[in-house]
Amino acid sequence: MSEATTAQTPRFRSVLDRIVSFRPSRALPAQTVPACPLAANESPYGPPAAVLEAVRRAALSVNRYPDNGCAELIAGIAARHGVAEECVAVGCGSVGVAQMLLAAVAEPGDEVLYAWRSFEAYPILTRLSGATAVETPLDDGVHDLAAMADAITDRTRLIFVCNPNNPTGTVVAEDALRTFLDRVPADCLVVLDEAYREYVRDSGTPDGLELASGRPNVVVLRTFSKAYGLAALRVGFMVGHPLVAGAIRKAYLPFSVNSVAQAAAVAALGAERELMARVETTIGERERVGAALTAHGLTVPASEANFLWLPLGERAAAFGEHCVRAGALVRTFAGDGVRVSIGSPAENDALLAAAATFGH
């Protein structure tokens, strides 16, 4: 080591100036009401016994590197969805897969298109990639696919379509999505983010896997973080053309899906019956909470996900703070709306109790 240098810092990329650090919802002020975590669209349930056992067994070998090829997990996903293994790629959460997709197709000067408001990761990942974000406003909470198609330029490399959309819970219909996909140039990648697919009950909502088969420029993102209850373990995947999956494998941060996560996800596929029964409970709660909030005088758009969107506009911050004070942690988008995850029946009751006293 030579003499100490003056206090200089590394030079950071200018894109970081336009990225807000990801921050979960504000911590609760000290108070007596127990917190109901309804801000992150997680499953309210702990792991089924078989998943817990897989985690325990995998924990015995954490001194070893994971299988970098994620062979068993990819085989399990491929079998579950009836696709070839070469069409599947996994990553550190579906957010990790999205980042790899951007790394594979987008660079400075390129454009990445998505609706807004939508998933908060899109602008962050897009800016990090160096590409330019192009945002098309939602039309009454729904993706405006015609406007999005109009916004495509010869620099558009990737388009996110979040279906159901986070945070509005809305879906795009099959006809509209097919028409849109027909307008997208073949060299532009469309990413159908279906993180909440398991919660969809509207029969007019397309299954991205069907749309993607036969369209080499369309991939579907799915995750183990929501219906499969493994948010902490970070496993997501894409299904699409083998060329896209192959590109993702090149962009893969080695070992980023760890061995405990791989084992848990494989076990979760095996525990699907139990997990999907929980999804049914959540959907029942979604209808119950939606009806109750409507009875409290709130506007509650139909949701096909495990959360509800309350388009409160200028009242959003006040409602969000009121809920948090009452122990129900919700996600507030100030000036726009509040997103309320569907939790356990007791957690949902806490939210409803808070909503009942809002504005009184």
Minimum distance of ligand PLP from residue 6's CB (angstroms): 40
**Amino acid identity of 295?**
A
Classified as helix, coil or strand, 237 is strand
The answer to the question of residue 193 lying near ligand PLP (CB under 6 A) is: yes
CA dihedral 232, 143, 105, 226 (to 10 degrees): 10
Stretch that binds ligand PLP, among 65-73, 149-157, 173-181, 222-230 (CB under 6 A): 222-230
Total residues binding ligand PLP (CB under 6 A): 14
- In the complex, minimum distance from the CB of residue 287 to ligand PLP, in angstroms, rounded to a whole number: 20
Query: Binding residue for ligand PLP (CB under 6 A) from 181, 195, 289, 355?
Result: 195
Alpha-carbon dihedral sign for residues 312, 316, 318, 324: positive
Among 47, 48, 66, 93, binds ligand PLP (CB under 6 A): 93
The one among 156, 223, 282, 332 contacting ligand PLP by CB under 6 A: 223
Amino acid at 317: A
Handedness of CA 353, 326, 300, 277 (dihedral sign): negative
Please give, one letter per residue, the 3-state secondary structure of 241-281. CHHHHHHHHHHCCCCCCCHHHHHHHHHHHHCHHHHHHHHHH
C-alpha closest to that of 46 among 352, 305, 274, 349: 274
Does position 303 bind ligand PLP by CB under 6 A? no
Single-letter amino acid, residue 206: P
Q: Is 129 in the site for ligand PLP (CB under 6 A)?
A: no
The stretch among 5-13, 172-180, 223-231, 325-333 that binds ligand PLP (CB under 6 A) is 223-231
Nearest CA among 273, 270, 294, 234 for reference residue 99: 234
Stretch that binds ligand PLP, among 88-96, 147-155, 275-283, 322-330 (CB under 6 A): 88-96
Distance of CA 58 to the CA centre of its chain: 26
162 binds ligand PLP (CB under 6 A): yes
For ligand PLP, the closer of residues 131 and 227 by Cβ is: 227
The footprint of ligand PLP on residues 103-122 (CB under 6 A) is 119
List contacts with ligand PLP (CB under 6 A): 41, 93-95, 119, 162, 166, 193, 195, 223, 225-226, 231, 236
